[in-house]
Homo-oligomer: A and B are copies of this chain.
């Protein structure tokens, strides 16, 4: 089993976090999965991912003081493995875990993913719980000073301690049994803690050991550029930014991140720009709102994510999607650029804007994406020969709104305030 073989193209799907935070329930997941199957699946959207603290009983009840309640009550089996909270995921009652829900997601033609925190539950360590497949117990593998600075649930594992790999094996065996296709592991990607690097390899090993092709996604960013080779060796996607929300400043900051990571995109290896904070957001955080990015800014975000080939994980509430957002998510040319692109390269970036190019590995057409960082409309004339030495084009298709025109040596583009111009060249 080669992790690059079962994730050749950047994953697409939906993640519950941006709308539900820690509060998503089985009912929410089913409803939104059904919507996705009906409306988005045909464009490539396939993963349904339940984000953080699905094991918690009281998650979300102490907002805004605590996003994650210290010393809160969690569902856990006798081996210190977290289970879905049965009050929130009724189909898990009777020790079934996520198996029934995964089965339903699969029945819709979709794939099923869950979020985990790096490490082992703190309470398991304090109670000296046994580890399945090891004679060591939780207190022996947990590091008491290896904690996540923003979530209180876990202790990190000691990398070279007998029992540590076995603990990860034991949870992945369970996930494989349940039918999980995608794991987003948190508190690991930016290596805040010295053991995180080795824990990434342990997760990879646990996937190989469980035998099921589970996509491994690492959070939160920013990933460490000088560790690029490690992510490429052991993970399928890794966040290159801290949480991205719906502000222009955060979208704009991604251009620098993509510049840094542009040479690290390949089959099975996808630097991740984070979820798309579109549509309705924030219900689980206690204050619901509509995406604050302008339409042009949303197009800029999608254009950058797609030419760079970031995974596309929708952060909205799918059943509440508006028409405009839906049409952005179902732009087939954009998605083809993301799914079939290669060789994406930033050619310019300064205070006024940026320029990226790439190529379609299936059709051979080329892409040019121009971005306008200013708050007013901008025009540019692009010299295609300089950008694509050795290539010549006769047609240019504006991806927004999908108009084709003839083209010679120069392409003139117009961009709205904070907006993009993206063309496919043939």
Binding site for B on A (CB under 8 A): 2, 70-71, 122-123, 125-126, 128, 139, 142-145, 147-150, 152, 225-226, 228-229, 233, 259-260, 262-264, 345-347, 389
Contacts and interface: CB of A to CB of B under 8 A. Distances in A.
Contacts of A229: 259-260, 262-263, 345-346
Nearest to A69: B139
Given A128-B71, A263-B228, A264-B263, A145 B149 contact: yes
Given A228-B263, A259-B229, A260-B226, A148 B145 contact: yes
A70 B144 contact: yes
A264 B262 CA distance: 10
Contact of A260 (B126, B128, B228, B233): B228
A359 to B, nearest CB: 15
B260 A125 contact: no
A272 to B, nearest CB: 17
A139 B389 contact: no
B145 A71 contact: no
Contacts of A128: 71
Given A229-B259, A263-B263, A139 B346 contact: no
A186 to B, nearest CB: 15
B142 A70 contact: yes
Nearest to A260: B226
Contact of A2 (B123, B149, B263, B389): B389
12 contacts: A71-B126, A71-B128, A144-B147, A145-B148, A145-B150, A225-B226, A228-B260, A229-B262, A229-B263, A229-B345, A229-B346, A263-B264
A382 to B, nearest CB: 16
Contacts of A152: 144-145
A347 B4 CA distance: 14
B233 A347 contact: yes
Contacts of A263: 228-229, 263-264
Nearest to A264: B263
A242 to B, nearest CB: 16
A361 to B, nearest CB: 16
